[in-house]
Structure 1
Amino acid sequence: MNPPQTTRPSTGAKRPTYKTNPTTGRYTKAAQKEVERAEARRAAAGESVPLPVAVDRSGAITGLAPAAAGQVVAEAIGRAGALTVDVETSGYPVGHANAALRTVQLGDEHTAVVLDPDDPAQAQVIRTALAAAPRLHAHSATADLVPLAHAGLLDESAWDRMYDTVIPAKLADPTSTGSDPGLKQLAGTVLADSATAPEADKARAALFKAHGWLTDTKALTPVERSGWAQVDSTCATMIRYAASDVLDTAALAVRLPQPPPAVTERERAVQRITARVAHRGLRVDRDQVTHLEAVHTPAMHAAAERLRALGVESAGSDRQLAERLTELGVTLPRTQPSTRHPNGQPSVAAGVLDGLKGTPGPAGDLIAAVLDYRHHETVLTTFLEPYRVLCEAGDGRARPTVYTLGTDTGRMSCVRPNLQQLPREGGVRACITADPGHTLVSADFSGVEIRVMAALSQDPELIRQLREGVDLHAMVAELAFGPGWTKANRYTAKRGVFGWAYGGGIESLARQLGVTADVMQAIVDALRQIAPAYVAWADEMKRMVRSGATQMPTYAGRIIHLPRDYPHKAPNYAIQGTARELLVDALLAWDQTRWGGGVVLPVHDEIVAMVPEADAAFATAELVRCMSRELYGIQIVAEPSEPSAAWRDSV
């Protein structure tokens, strides 16, 4: 092993010249402050060491030649029988003009090697090690394998050897691993004082703060504000930060409680399936984005004008809105007390205002105007602007990461971008399109929550209603609102049924639905009358959690960990967690069809897949077949959408 390299200032640049007072010869006040800031930045960064380097758990940094780095990595593979991998990027999505792979870290829990992938010799070390490892570890592996694949350092087949530590962390009892699966928090909980990542992240955050850089960056973030893009990757602080992820992930891989092998393999399989969309992406239709921007921009400005006319000068000011609504006689609930606001503040959150829709007079006009404004602003800033950036500053593809165990119930989630949260109407979904010569096919589970409720509770009335095609929500609406119930009443009843089934209280649900507590109570009473065995089952689930029984095995073998501090949520966890297993079954079945290996996107209870145009009709029928099955005597069914080049609205 080569001796440590001589260190140098982390920036590698000459120190700037500062203005001095011509009389005293001392720095001016402004110059003195700049001197102090520069010194603070140098101190936060530490010394700089040319890559590659090896880092041990004590934080000691040793400079290496590329050949020696390869040997150190090979020794780590030999010790662990696996290779832990992590990357640092510029913080921009793959395909973006500012996307860059900054460093690659490889090793085990004892030693991590930090390498520069832009150096040909070091890139070969990376490529050779990744190919040689019989088993790979990473934490949230998509964030590592996708940039490595796009840099040509491995291919998608690496998923066959990947054992992501997120999987055992999310499957384990949260009381043993903590409730946050993020690496820094998880390492602190499981590894305690031996964890390296928490302190390394604090030092990294201090470095970013010293420079005024952002940590949470997005596709729209100016490159000069991104700490990930601007930081010197060879400074000691970033070297230790980068290495700590490998050191702690490798330690977690052998210390986390391991689920049964069949459960692990099921989760690894569905992770491989959903990772393809992050590797290959879905095409964004620039013309549709432009069209919708032309619709929502003037509509947002018009809503802002209405707000000004109604006495709210700044459309985005919650304080102004709350004050004006109070002046108009609206009683608003208050937020939770805080140090700054001991009595809380009037709340104008979406759930509050949704419940106040239809208020007569100027207050109702004001509420309608602000809801319109928020809708148009959300569509523009959350969806259309990022999509436009993907087209203008990128390759025009959205590459979302799907977390297959995204929530505490096990439900999947989606980020960067979140394609699960697109409005189901209004054409925003149509911004996502199939590649030329291909089409999108999709199907949605039909009433899956009610079917799972019936299957788990074995309520004979619910089972009868499902078999006879009876509309449960219509029955509840008639009992709660009377024979003259409307379609709107049915929708309220549906929201109330699920809200209560998932642990909501009468008062809070009434506010959310914009009804009185008496009406919400009537909805619950109707459900008790229509499905008494389900209500009894839900009450028993809550009682069991209160008595300490917090583990519910699903039919697939995965354990749902019921929230011991929130027993009222137990039925929700059971229903949502079981529905999630049905989605996994469907994805695994789809992967066995002729279109297995293609891009597929799970969206709550819907599956969207890209197939050749000529296969559209047959593929749609096969997707429905893959999603259809029986759960404890209850038929689980799916409804298809028409195949389309663009993702269709779902209303």
Structure 2
Amino acid sequence: MRHYTFPLLGREFPVSTPERPEDLAHFIAWLSRQTQPVAVDSETHGLDILSGDPEYVRMVQFGSQEEAWNIPTELGMSFKEAARTALWMLIDGVGITGHNWAAFDAPALHVHLGIPYDDLCKNAVDTMLCSKLVDPRAVQEGGIGSSLKPLSDHYIDPTAADTQGDLTAVFRSLGLTKAVGFSRIDLWHPIYQSYGGGDVLLTARLRPKLENKLRLLGVPQRLVDYEHEVARICGHMQIRGLLLDQDYTRRLADELGEEEATQTAIVRTYGVEKLGSPAQIAEALIGMGESLTERTAGGAVKADKSVLSALADMDLYGNRLHVRTPNPLAVAVIKAKRAGKWKSAYADNFLTSLDRNGRIHPGIRTMQARTGRMSVTNPAVQTLPSGDWKIRRCFLAEPGERIISVDFQAVELRVLAALAGVKRMKEAISLGRDLHSFTAELVFGPDFTPKHRKISKAIGFGVVYGGGAATIQRQTGAPMEEVKRAVAAYHRTYPEVRRAANRWQREAFSNGMVTTSVTGRRLPLDRDRTYAVTNYQVQSAARDCLGQALINMEEAGLLPYLRLPVHDEVIASAPAREADDIGRAIGKCMTFDLFGVPIESDPEVGGRSWGSLYLPDDQRAAHDEWYANAGLAT
């Protein structure tokens, strides 16, 4: 047995690490004496926990508030069996406390120790989820953050040792980067062992602090339980992953590289040597006769994406606006940057994220935003280009299956109508009207044009997402005066929206600048951005519609088909003969009533690839035929 310590609260807390198989009996005896939930953590060779490497977990740590044990599973089967036995004892006994448990440690232990994921989650509390329900803000937003170190500093001991920082220094002294340091550092390094034990000591002490804080703040226990259920369901999708069409992805990477080089060469013909230099781009544009009036906080002439898009006659999504002649330099800069980003962030990233079975496992952060909105990262599938098929074409349904996409129908506007009680919006929804066309008719009259509908759509989303007239003007290309008149007309048409925003702001001012969502989620407001209260209320409720829908899907037996939640959409894979029925079943789970407003969904069944859903019908047929001829359809 080796013995280490972790300094905390002016004391040295014991950290024990069995060195020989016969030492493990002392660990099991200690565990059997525990009467409170035990904190569990794992140390791995890196962040690629779902790589399929059976030796990826180096150590599993167990801790109470007074003592920690590190079980070095990399030493062999007897140590792995002791960790398995201990986990089962906790699952069936006092329970588990973990930090980032559902998204990291439970999947890692499921894959590498063979314990069913649901069992690892059924009697566990994730302190990261609890911390986000107390304060969802990131550190840079004025919050505590959700990482273990800042939470421990705030709730336990601000002078606690920063063993992670110490480890980083050790990695540096050994000539290792942080990415490989956890894999290559010696198992018995005292800082590594102290770090492992310290994490569970801190987690064990953090749980009661957070649970008490949740009670004091009046956060409903049902919301805590709900978040754990959503995280568990998303963990299943993360473990399952998505199949990647590797040959296509490699070709796409090559094509994007060629496009970047071609467009960069065009940019250089205008005297711009550095694509990443806004000053050079601005100077060249002014030399071409363009008038650039916007400036950065530092006083430099702005040449960012919004400025370039307007000059290229595009909206921020790359769609043509048809309000001016496109500036060729602005067009080339946008295309060059887009190709470079798509290559590195998507195609190249997908290929380097592959596991041994040709899958990627995007991380699903179930409460990433302040509003609770989910995010999908590593790789960032959440940020795929809107409406584009080329990147999504990289991902495949299972052999013999088809991709399904089920999206909420205008969920933000429906949620706004429900929460604010917007009478005319609710009438339009009940009549099955397109809300953007309905708004355009009320604002601009029965002879409204497609341009008017576009403005009305931008205003509707601007109200929901907190965008002002300038943002709407950039998105639509409409004259500013027309935008301002339309915004004023919008609020005359839907007066309940502004009344609800005023009410939510008053409630926040009387509640320490916190607005509470319809589900009881605390949403802190910034004093200089109180106008964002509508966005927070709507986005949070829309996210909880998705979370409840996922729970509905599991109850309906649909979890095995689910692959990914993306914004307000669920991606699934189902056998070709059942795909239509599965799509409708998922759609049914995403259909319910919210304060008298129907939340509805739009199921769509594609071909073998996700990208097929974005192709015209004639191209989709050719897409399916190609897969059949290539022998990939079954």
TM-score normalised by structure 1 residue count: 0.81
| 1:617 paired residue number | 580
Cα shift at 1:478: 6.4
From 73, 87, 104, the counterpart of 1:130: 87
| 1:88 paired residue number | 43
Cα shift at 1:229: 3.1
| 1:440 paired residue number | 403
Cα shift at 1:115: 2.9
| 2:384 paired residue number | 422
| 2:156 paired residue number | 191
Q: Deviations over 1:531-569 (max 9, x none)?
A: 1222222233234324446555545x4324241433111
| 2:534 paired residue number | 571
| 2:109 paired residue number | 148
| 1:32 paired residue number | none
**Residues 95 and 394 in structure 1, CA contact (< 8 A), matched pair in contact too:** no
> CA separation of 1:469/1:163 partners in 2, compared to 1, >3 Å: closer, same or farther?
same
Letter of the 2:220 counterpart: P
SS in 2 for 1:79: coil
Letter of the 2:61 counterpart: Q
Cα shift at 1:408: 0.9
| 1:536 paired residue number | 499
Structure-1 separation of matches of 2:253 and 2:480: 40
> CA separation of 1:61/1:551 partners in 2, compared to 1, >3 Å: closer, same or farther?
closer
**Residues 396 and 403 in structure 2, CA contact (< 8 A), matched pair in contact too:** yes
**Residues 509 and 520 in structure 1, CA contact (< 8 A), matched pair in contact too:** yes
Q: How does 1:189-268 map to 2 (within 5 A)?
A: 189-193=154-158, 195-196=160-161, 199-211=162-174, 213-215=176-178, 217=179, 226-256=180-210, 257-258=213-214, 259-268=219-228
Does residue 646 (structure 1) correspond to residue 609 (structure 2)? The answer is yes
Structure-2 separation of matches of 1:277 and 1:629: 23
Q: Deviations over 1:490-510 (max 9, x none)?
A: 334423332233323334554
Structure-2 separation of matches of 1:166 and 1:327: 53
> CA separation of 1:508/1:425 partners in 2, compared to 1, >3 Å: closer, same or farther?
closer
Structure-1 separation of matches of 2:582 and 2:170: 52
**Residues 17 and 70 in structure 2, CA contact (< 8 A), matched pair in contact too:** no
From 342, 359, 373, the counterpart of 1:397: 359
Does residue 369 (structure 1) correspond to residue 326 (structure 2)? The answer is no
Q: Deviations over 1:150-186 (max 9, x none)?
A: 2225231312222111221111145999342122222
> CA separation of 1:344/1:377 partners in 2, compared to 1, >3 Å: closer, same or farther?
same
Cα shift at 1:289: 0.9
**Residues 50 and 108 in structure 2, CA contact (< 8 A), matched pair in contact too:** no
Structure-2 separation of matches of 1:548 and 1:61: 43
Structure-2 separation of matches of 1:308 and 1:175: 42
Note the residue ranges of structure 1 that are not aligned, 5 or more in a row: 5-52, 218-225, 337-342
**Residues 253 and 347 in structure 2, CA contact (< 8 A), matched pair in contact too:** yes
> CA separation of 1:61/1:625 partners in 2, compared to 1, >3 Å: closer, same or farther?
closer
Q: How does 1:582-593 map to 2 (within 5 A)?
A: 582-593=545-556
Cα shift at 1:63: 5.3
Q: How does 1:24-423 map to 2 (within 5 A)?
A: 55=6, 57=8, 58=12, 64-66=18-20, 67-69=22-24, 71-72=26-27, 74-75=29-30, 78-79=33-34, 81-94=36-49, 96=51, 100-120=56-76, 121-133=78-90, 134=93, 135-141=95-101, 142-156=103-117, 157-173=119-135, 178-193=143-158, 195-196=160-161, 199-211=162-174, 213-215=176-178, 217=179, 226-256=180-210, 257-258=213-214, 259-328=219-288, 329-331=290-292, 333-336=294-297, 343=298, 345-358=300-313, 364-391=327-354, 394-423=356-385
- Give the length in aligned residue pairs: 583
Q: Deviations over 1:231-286 (max 9, x none)?
A: 33432222222222212111111110344332222222221111012222221111
SS in 2 for 1:143: helix
> CA separation of 1:94/1:382 partners in 2, compared to 1, >3 Å: closer, same or farther?
same
Letter of the 1:119 counterpart: L
| 2:624 paired residue number | none
Letter of the 1:227 counterpart: G
Q: Deviations over 1:583-635 (max 9, x none)?
A: 11211111112334554421111112233333212111111111111111111
Q: Deviations over 1:165-214 (max 9, x none)?
A: 12211111459993421222222222243644xx1222123334445644
Structure-1 separation of matches of 2:308 and 2:184: 42
Decide which moves more: 283-292 or 73-82: 73-82
> CA separation of 1:325/1:187 partners in 2, compared to 1, >3 Å: closer, same or farther?
farther
> CA separation of 1:79/1:330 partners in 2, compared to 1, >3 Å: closer, same or farther?
farther
> CA separation of 1:228/1:351 partners in 2, compared to 1, >3 Å: closer, same or farther?
farther
Structure-2 separation of matches of 1:330 and 1:186: 49
CA RMSD across the alignment? 3.1
Percent identity of equivalent pairs: 26
> CA separation of 1:620/1:362 partners in 2, compared to 1, >3 Å: closer, same or farther?
closer
Decide which moves more: 227-236 or 615-624: 227-236
Structure-2 separation of matches of 1:286 and 1:568: 45
Note the residue ranges of structure 2 that are not aligned, 5 or more in a row: 315-322, 615-634
**Residues 355 and 513 in structure 1, CA contact (< 8 A), matched pair in contact too:** no
Structure-2 separation of matches of 1:415 and 1:363: 34
SS in 2 for 1:587: helix
Structure-2 separation of matches of 1:151 and 1:347: 51
**Residues 436 and 453 in structure 2, CA contact (< 8 A), matched pair in contact too:** yes
Letter of the 2:398 counterpart: D
> CA separation of 1:208/1:317 partners in 2, compared to 1, >3 Å: closer, same or farther?
farther
Structure-1 separation of matches of 2:510 and 2:310: 35
**Residues 77 and 107 in structure 1, CA contact (< 8 A), matched pair in contact too:** no
**Residues 83 and 130 in structure 1, CA contact (< 8 A), matched pair in contact too:** no
Structure-2 separation of matches of 1:3 and 1:475: 72
> CA separation of 1:403/1:107 partners in 2, compared to 1, >3 Å: closer, same or farther?
same
Structure-2 separation of matches of 1:289 and 1:95: 21
Decide which moves more: 68-77 or 634-643: 68-77
Q: Deviations over 1:450-503 (max 9, x none)?
A: 111111111111112222333343355568788886545533442333223332
